[in-house]
Amino acid sequence: MNGFAWGDFALNLAAAAGAALAVLLVTFAVALRKGLHRIVDVAWGLAFAAVALTSLAVAAGQGDGARQVLVTVLTCVWGLRLAGHIARRGRGHGEDPRYEQMLAKAPGSRAAYAFRKVYLLQAALVWLVSLPVQAAYYISGPMSVLAAVGTALWLVGLVFEGVGDWQLARFKADPSHRGLVMDRGLWSWTRHPNYFGDFCVWWGLFLITCDAPAAAAATVVAPLVMSLLLTRGSGKALLERHMAERPGYAAYRRRTSGFFPLPPRTDRPDRNAS
């Protein structure tokens, strides 16, 4: 059984919180200057990369070096790819309707309200969701087959995210598709290949931590919270409420799995779609 340095991990929790908060504070300052809060979505991936790099520096000389390098690379590749994709997607666009709608209800200062409800909340979520990443730096002993399985699951997730985003971007770039529902490629197997990809990425990173059962027990809340966000919170549920009235979406919903990839159905009553 691999050991786990609880005391050093506790110190890392503070350092990681500082790293996540620093990224979101800088983003908040840039957003105020630009008058555009949608850039906070770019900071989401960057903040995870910052937490991983900070943890690598703080944990120098501790834990298993191979595991530390693996977790750093996996987290940074995921975070930087996501940040780059969101930045490219949002270039030239105005404020995100989600933030416009939320800030329209702000009691008092819109900036202060956005800081509390968006930036501080995202910093806290980055810290919480990254717990398995932080813990991985303080596990002694070599990696087991669990790390290999976790890495493979992470790779499945990255493929679903990257390919799904690329397919959607190509679909939207064709003017003849304006107003249509994307139902091709990975999107014919799941209505949310990108969110399913996120799900795989974070459960994969958690599995790498499972070499130390105590660390796994202490951090399992992270992938559980991410799963709830993706399926019931700001991911799948929110997007589907927005898409509900789009022509063709009800039929797409009937024939396509709501989250986990499955072969397209020929027909299914809408009340059973998940």
The answer to whether residue 233 scores a pLDDT higher than 50 is yes
Query: With bands split at pLDDT 50, 70 and 90, how would you rate the model's confidence at 272?
Result: very low
Q: Are 33 and 57 within one domain? A: yes
Average pLDDT, the chain: 91
Q: Are 77 and 1 within one domain? A: yes
Q: What is the mean pLDDT of residues 235-253?
A: 80
Q: Are 4 and 115 within one domain? A: yes
Q: Are 137 and 148 within one domain? A: no
Q: Are 113 and 207 within one domain? A: no
Q: How far apart are CA 35 and CA 227, in angstroms?
A: 31
The answer to whether residue 50 scores a pLDDT higher than 90 is yes
The answer to whether residue 4 scores a pLDDT higher than 80 is yes
Domain end point (choices 141, 164, 179): 141
Q: Contacts by 45-48 with C-beta closer than 8 Å and gap 24+?
A: 45/78, 45/79, 45/80, 45/81, 45/82, 45/83, 45/86, 46/79, 46/80, 46/83, 47/19, 47/20, 47/23, 47/79, 47/122, 47/123, 47/126, 48/75, 48/78, 48/79, 48/126, 48/129, 48/130, 48/133
Q: Are 52 and 137 within one domain? A: yes
Number of domains in the chain: 2
Name residue 4's beta-bridge partners.
139
Q: At what angle do helices 65-90 and 40-58 cross, to 10 degrees?
A: 160
Domain end point (choices 141, 173, 199): 141
Query: With bands split at pLDDT 50, 70 and 90, how would you rate the model's confidence at 267?
Result: low
The answer to whether residue 108 scores a pLDDT higher than 90 is no
The answer to whether residue 274 scores a pLDDT higher than 50 is no
Instruction: Say what the pTM is.
Output: 0.91
Q: What is the mean pLDDT of residues 197-219?
A: 96
Helix (H) / strand (E) element for 57: namely: helix 40-58
Q: Is 32 helix (H, G, I), strand (E, B) or coil?
A: helix
The answer to whether residue 109 scores a pLDDT higher than 90 is no
* Domain span including residue 198: 144-274
Q: Are 110 and 17 within one domain? A: yes
Q: Are 136 and 148 within one domain? A: no
Q: Are 33 and 121 within one domain? A: yes
